[in-house]
Amino acid sequence: MTWSLAFDLLGVFCFAISGSLLAVTRGYDLVGSVVLGSLTGLGGGVLRDLVLRITPTAFDRPAYMVPPLVAAALVFFMAPEVQRFPRTLLVFDAAGLGLFCTAGAVKALQFGMNPVAATLLGFTTAIGGGLLRDVCANRNPKLFDPRDIYALPALFGAGAMTALWHWGGGIGAQFLVALAVFAIRVLSLHFHWRIPLAAGERAQPRAS
């Protein structure tokens, strides 16, 4: 197994944990937990592969079903312990974000996409699974939560990885960028880093 595949499967596992944990808080059953975990872990990569016009890895390689199954089993047996730490979902989601924004950018570059496209596709890979998770569970996407920053670290990670790849960076660069994205995301959760609202500081959001 290459490092690249290991990172990818780890990313699937992290997002799958976040999906299975959401399934617990929603009161889903064990199969729903596997399905929501799989959607979360594999959705971003499927989107990326469809845009790249290759057979989605999640369907092509049976190994990609292992992380969601392990994740759902872990959550099933460990949920009471895990629930004492309500931010667990977000921490695993942050790890998946770092791993996927870099892996998605690298894969896009390997298939000949231009740097802007590779950055966008790394970003899409990273946010796709979590967006699908929240939309399918019928809740407001974490992606749009203004109380901390989510999209920005993923965009930064995809862009940084694209630049480093052009300068010859490989799996070591990916590890460092993924770690940086994870750290930024977790710190933003802890310190409530925020960016300006969509309406500028003068406007007040109004009920839709």
Counting residues that bind its own copies (by CB under 8 A) gives: 68
Among 28, 91, 176, 187, binds its own copies (CB under 8 A): 28
Report the site for its own copies in 113-152 (rule: CB under 8 A): 113-114, 116-117, 120-121, 127, 131, 135-141, 143-144, 146, 149, 151-152
C-alpha torsion sign, points 28, 67, 99, 120: negative
- Structural element, H or E, at residue 134: helix 115-136
Using the rule CB under 8 A, which residue among 27, 85, 168, 191 binds its own copies? Answer: 27
**Which residues within the stretch 147-166 sit at the binding site for its own copies (CB under 8 A)?**
149, 151-152, 155
65 interacts with its own copies by CB under 8 A: yes
Q: Does 22 bind its own copies (CB under 8 A)?
A: yes
168 binds its own copies (CB under 8 A): no
Cα separation of 63 and 57, whole Å? Answer: 9
Yes or no: say if 174 and 103 are a contact pair by the CB < 8 Å rule. Answer: yes
Nearest-angstrom CA–CA distance, 155 and 159: 6
Asked if 177 and 160 count as a contact pair (C-beta separation under 8 A), the reply is: yes
Shorter beta-carbon distance to its own copies: residue 55 or 170? 55
Distance, CA of 156 to CA of 41 (rounded, Å): 21
Contact call for residue 3 and its own copies (CB under 8 A): no
